């Protein structure tokens, strides 16, 4: 009897197993390639030579890799950049969002929304405050270190100067490079007795750099150095010094950040003492990170860009200038 029951149980379970629907074979995991990928890129705007090189890097590299790039120009307006971010979250075609943040704050909500929408976010060029859990990685410069380099260079230039009053032309208020370059500059400059006696934003522009410097020169000519947080503002200061009858790079030492081709020309002309490099050619690293993120790879929170510095006294300056891409 027991054998009969056991036999029936075995037959029944074999029958049920045969009837049970086959376990669905799991979808093969999608492996993303560049042509599959649509990147929504939120650029700051078009403020100067560095930004033009950075934008070209994104557009040209996208074409080379065959990926679809949706380019958004925030026109240096934070509200427009946040609106563009929301647009890319809503846009079903956009797979990954890349942003060059105009300012370090104001991103908490949109980053949370992007995360909820399952859209990876990559920061390019500029960091933001906090939110590390809401973006994949930041690819860009160590702006504090750029500032330190500028401070060290200014110390060297003013080492024999009895007084060391320096004026600082800052980038747009709230921007990571404006905050961090200032911090780094003071860290090294104050060690050699430099005092920053004037500091003001000139929004990365030649015109504003000139106007701000002119206003300061009307008040006093007791300045031994000018730190332009980018090349364009330094070019403006150089024009203002000339018009005030001062010799740039001699009477007043001038150091900038970016090292675009314009800075090389100014160093070759003898009006700019030195330029700390900030590398704008970030797109290849950013797209590589975007693809890795879509394929589920974990990336370091910061991927620093490689940078150098150049001085008008460099013996090979002419050759270096000839070989520059931007």
Q: Which is nearer to ligand AHR, 47 or 187 (CB)?
A: 47
47 touches ligand AHR (CB under 6 A): yes
| C-beta of residue 41 within 8 angstroms of C-beta of residue 58 | yes
Q: Which is nearer to ligand AHR, 94 or 102 (CB)?
A: 102
- Candidates 48, 84, 209, 225; binder of ligand AHR (CB under 6 A) is 48
Going by their DSSP bridges, the two strands 137-140 and 121-125 should be labelled as parallel
57 touches ligand AHR (CB under 6 A): no
Torsions phi, psi of 125, nearest 5?
A: 80, -50
Burial 201-235 (b: 16+ CB within 10 A, else e): bbbbbbebbbebbbebbeeeeebbbbbbbbbbbbb
Least distance to ligand AHR, CB of residue 181, Å: 8
Least distance to ligand AHR, CB of residue 182, Å: 13
d(CA 120, CA 296): 10
Torsions phi, psi of 312, nearest 5?
A: -65, -15
208 touches ligand AHR (CB under 6 A): no
d(CA 85, CA 239): 38
Going by their DSSP bridges, the two strands 137-140 and 165-170 should be labelled as unpaired
Least distance to ligand AHR, CB of residue 91, Å: 25
- Candidates 51, 119, 149, 253; binder of ligand AHR (CB under 6 A) is 51
Output the six-digit token pair for 164: 């060391």
Among residue numbers 8 through 37, which ones bind ligand AHR (CB under 6 A)?
A: none
185 touches ligand AHR (CB under 6 A): no
- Candidates 53, 57, 121, 126; binder of ligand AHR (CB under 6 A) is 126
40 touches ligand AHR (CB under 6 A): no
Site of interaction with ligand AHR (CB under 6 A): 47-48, 50-51, 125-126, 177, 204, 230, 257-258, 278
């Amino acid at each position: 009897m027991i054998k009969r029951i056991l036999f029936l149980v075995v037959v029944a379970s074999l029958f049920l197993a045969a009837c049970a629907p086959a376990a669905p074979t799991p979808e093969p995991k999608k492996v993303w390639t560049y042509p599959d990928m649509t990147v929504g890129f939120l650029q700051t705007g078009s403020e100067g030579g560095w930004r033009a090189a950075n934008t070209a890097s994104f557009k040209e590299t996208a074409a080379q890799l065959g990926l679809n790039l949706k380019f958004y120009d925030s026109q240096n307006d934070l509200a427009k950049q946040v609106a563009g971010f929301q647009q890319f979250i809503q846009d079903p075609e956009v797979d990954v969002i890349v942003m060059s943040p105009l300012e370090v704050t104001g991103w908490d909500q949109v980053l949370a929304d992007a995360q909820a929408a399952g859209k990876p976010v990559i920061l390019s060029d500029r960091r933001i405050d906090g939110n590390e859990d809401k973006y994949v990685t930041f690819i860009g410069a160590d702006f504090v270190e750029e500032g330190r380099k500028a401070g060290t260079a200014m110390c060297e230039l003013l080492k024999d100067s009895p007084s060391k009053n320096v004026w600082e032309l800052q980038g747009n208020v709230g921007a990571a490079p404006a905050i961090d370059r200032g911090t780094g500059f003071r860290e090294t400059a104050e060690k050699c007795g430099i005092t920053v006696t004037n500091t003001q934003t000139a929004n990365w522009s030649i015109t504003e750099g000139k106007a701000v410097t002119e206003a300061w020169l009307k008040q006093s000519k007791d300045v031994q150095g000018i730190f332009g947080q980018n090349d364009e503002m330094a070019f403006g200061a150089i024009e203002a010094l000339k018009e005030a009858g001062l010799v740039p790079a001699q009477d007043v030492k001038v150091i900038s950040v970016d090292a675009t081709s314009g800075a090389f020309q100014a160093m070759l002309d003898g009006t700019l003492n030195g330029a700390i490099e900030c590398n704008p050619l970030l797109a290849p690293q950013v797209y590589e990170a975007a693809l890795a993120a879509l394929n589920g790879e974990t990336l370091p929170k910061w991927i620093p860009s490689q940078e150098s510095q150049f001085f008008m006294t460099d013996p090979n300056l002419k050759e270096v200038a000839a070989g520059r891409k931007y």
